[in-house]
C-alpha cells in the first residue's frame, strides 16, 4: 500500500503530459468570433457596384448566408476565390461580400476578371464595419442565420475541405432551422 | 564616426517613442493611459505581441481606436470592454476574474497550499517517528515491564 504512494509523482507527470500533448498541433491562430450568438453590428454601407445605395444589416435577414471578407490586396483571397465561385454556382450558397479596406476600381476589376460569387458586395474602404465585426485579417468567412445572428466564423482560406468538414455542417444546421 | 553613433542612438530612441508620439493627446495623463492600454491589449493577428509594438494592420487600427476613445475621455474599463466585445477575451493580456478563470487565478495559491500541506505532513510524520524509531524490542519491553512492576503480573 505504502509503495503505491511512490507512483503519485508518476501519475501526475503522465496527467501533465496528456494535458500538454493535447495542445500540440492545435491551431491557435484562428480565434472564435466574439460575436457568436450576437446580431451583426449596425452598419450603413454602400455596395461595390452602387456608390449611392446604402445597405443595413437587413441584407442578412430572410435566409442563412455566408459573409465573406475580402480585398484585392489579400493574396489568400485570390486562392480562395475559385471555391467561392464553386459554392455560389454549383451549390447555390448565398454569399454576401464585404470588400474590406480596398479600392473600388480594383475590386470591381477583380470581380470582372474572376467572376462574382456575391449576391451583394458591401464596400468598407475604411474598415469601420470590419472593425465592429472583429475582423483581424482577410479572408474571413462568417455564417449568419436568417435572423441576422452571427453563428460561426472561419479565419483563413475556405477550400473544398474546409467547406465540407467545417462550414457546411453549421450552415446546413442553421439553414434547416431558419 | 561620432555622428554615426549619435544618429544610430537617435534612431533607436525615436523608434521607442514612435507609437505614442504619432498620436496627439491633450494631457500627459492621457498619453500614459494610451501607453498602458496599448501594452495590455493583445494583437489578435500576431498573437504574442501587444498592439503597442505590433506592425499588423489590425494592431494599428486598434491603436487608432484606443487613441480616439482616450481623447473622447472614455474610461480604461470602457475602452477594454469595447475591444473585448469585438475581438473576444483573447485580447486581454490580463484575464478578468470570473468563474471561468478562477482556476487560472487560483492555481498558484492551490500549488502553494498543496506544497505547504505536503511539508506539514512530512514534518509531523518525522517528529512522530523519531521516538518510535528507538522503540524497544519485544524482549526489552518485557524486561522493562518486569523492572517497573517489580514482578511479572499475576493478577
Per-residue pLDDT band at B146 (split at 50, 70, 90): confident
Answer yes or no: is A117 within a domain: yes
A→B interface, C-beta within 8 Å:
28-29, 31-35, 101, 127, 131-137
DSSP H/E element including A140: strand A140-144
Is residue B19 scored above 60 in pLDDT? no
In a domain, A17, yes or no: no
pLDDT at site A87: 95
Is A137–B86 a contact, with Cβ atoms under 8 angstroms apart? no
Using omega within 30 degrees of 0 as the cis cutoff, is the peptide bond preceding B147 cis?
A: no
Mean pLDDT of chain B: 83
pLDDT of residue B75: 93
pLDDT of B16: 46
For residue A39, give the CATH number of its domain: 3.40.30.10
Strand partners, A39: A149
Q: Write out the residue range of the structural domain in which residue A72 sits.
A: 32-177
Q: Determine, for residues B58 and A137 on separate chains, whether the beta-carbon distance falls below 8 Å.
A: yes
Identify whether the C-beta of residue A130 lies closer than 8 Å to the C-beta of residue A101. Answer: yes
- Going by pLDDT thresholds of 50, 70 and 90, the confidence category of residue B151 is low
Lowest-pLDDT range of A55-59, A160-164, B57-61, B138-142 = B138-142
Cβ A34–B85 below 8 Å, yes or no? yes
Residue B12 reports pLDDT greater than 70 = no
pLDDT at B47: 79
DSSP 8-state secondary structure symbol assigned to residue B41? B
What single DSSP character describes residue A40?
A: P
Q: What is the pTM of this model?
A: 0.75
Is the model's pLDDT at B132 over the cut of 70?
A: no
Q: State the ipTM, two decimals.
A: 0.79
% of chain B with per-residue pLDDT over 70: 79
| The pLDDT of residue B154 is above 60 | no
Does residue A4 fall inside a structural domain?
no
What is the rounded distance in angstroms from the CA atom of residue B114 to the CA atom of residue B126?
18
Q: Which residue of B has its CA nearest to A41?
A: B86
Question: Residue B142's pLDDT is what?
Answer: 85
More confidently predicted of A68 and B135: A68
Residue of B86, B100, B110 for testing the chain A interface, max A β-carbons within 10 Å: B86
Across chain A, what does the average pLDDT equal?
92
Give domain status of residue A104, yes or no: yes
> Does B45 have pLDDT greater than 50?
yes
Whether A6 maps to a domain, the answer reads no
Helix, strand, coil % over all residues of chain A, rounded to 5? 40, 20, 35
pLDDT band (50, 70, 90) for residue B1 = low
Cβ-nearest to B47 among A29, A33, A135: A29
Closest to A101 measured CA to CA, from A81, A75, A120, A128: A128
Place of cell 445572428: A149
CA nearest to A103, candidates A132, A79, A82, A123: A123
In angstroms, the CA B124 to CA A176 distance is 66
Strands (E), B16-94: none
Residues of chain A scoring pLDDT < 50: none
DSSP H or E stretch at residue B39 = helix B28-40
Higher-confidence position of A18 and B19: A18
Strand partners of residue A155: A140
Q: Which three cell numbers stand for residue B38?
A: 496599448
Is A102 within a domain?
yes
Is B86 in Cβ contact with A31 (below 8 Å)?
A: no
Alpha-carbon torsion angle B143, B144, B145, B148, nearest 10: 130
Q: How many CB atoms lie within 10 A of CB A116?
A: 17
Does a structural domain hold residue A3?
Answer: no
User: How many angstroms away from the CA of A31 is the closest CA of chain B?
Assistant: 8
**Range A19-47 burial, b when 16+ CB lie within 10 A, else e:** eeeeeeeeeeeebebbbeeeebbebebbb
- Å between B7 CA and nearest CA of chain A: 35
Domains held by chain A: number: 1
Amino acid at each position: 500500500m505504502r509503495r503505491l504512494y511512490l507512483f503519485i509523482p508518476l501519475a501526475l507527470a503522465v496527467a501533465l503530459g496528456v494535458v500538454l500533448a493535447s495542445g500540440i498541433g492545435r491551431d491557435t491562430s484562428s480565434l472564435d468570433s466574439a460575436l457568436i450568438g450576437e446580431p451583426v453590428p449596425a452598419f450603413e454601407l454602400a455596395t461595390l457596384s452602387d456608390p449611392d445605395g446604402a445597405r443595413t444589416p437587413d441584407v442578412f435577414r430572410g435566409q442563412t448566408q455566408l459573409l465573406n471578407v475580402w480585398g484585392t490586396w489579400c493574396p489568400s483571397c485570390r486562392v480562395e476565390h475559385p471555391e467561392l465561385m464553386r459554392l455560389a454556382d454549383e451549390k447555390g450558397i448565398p454569399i454576401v461580400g464585404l470588400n474590406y479596406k480596398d479600392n473600388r476600381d480594383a475590386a470591381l476589376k477583380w470581380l470582372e476578371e474572376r467572376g462574382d460569387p456575391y449576391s451583394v458586395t458591401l464596400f468598407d474602404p475604411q474598415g469601420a464595419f470590419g472593425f465592429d465585426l472583429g475582423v483581424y485579417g482577410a479572408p474571413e468567412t462568417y455564417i449568419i442565420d436568417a435572423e441576422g445572428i452571427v453563428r460561426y466564423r472561419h479565419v483563413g482560406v475556405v477550400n473544398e475541405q474546409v467547406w465540407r468538414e467545417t462550414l457546411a455542417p453549421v450552415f446546413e444546421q442553421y439553414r434547416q432551422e431558419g | 564616426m561620432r555622428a554615426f553613433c549619435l544618429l544610430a542612438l537617435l534612431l533607436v530612441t525615436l523608434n521607442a517613442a514612435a507609437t505614442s508620439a504619432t498620436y496627439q493627446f491633450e494631457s500627459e495623463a492621457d498619453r500614459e493611459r494610451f501607453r498602458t492600454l496599448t501594452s495590455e491589449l493583445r494583437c489578435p493577428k500576431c498573437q504574442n505581441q501587444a498592439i503597442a509594438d505590433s506592425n499588423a494592420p489590425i494592431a494599428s487600427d486598434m491603436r487608432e481606436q484606443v487613441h480616439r476613445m482616450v481623447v473622447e475621455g472614455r474610461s480604461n474599463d470602457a475602452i477594454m470592454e469595447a475591444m473585448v466585445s469585438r475581438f473576444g477575451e483573447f485580447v486581454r493580456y490580463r484575464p478578468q476574474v470570473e468563474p471561468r478563470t478562477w482556476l487560472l487565478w487560483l492555481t498558484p495559491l492551490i500549488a502553494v497550499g498543496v506544497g505547504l500541506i505536503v511539508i506539514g505532513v512530512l514534518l509531523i510524520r518525522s517528529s512522530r517517528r523519531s521516538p518510535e524509531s528507538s522503540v524497544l524490542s519485544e524482549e526489552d519491553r518485557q524486561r522493562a515491564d518486569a523492572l517497573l512492576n517489580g514482578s511479572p503480573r499475576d493478577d
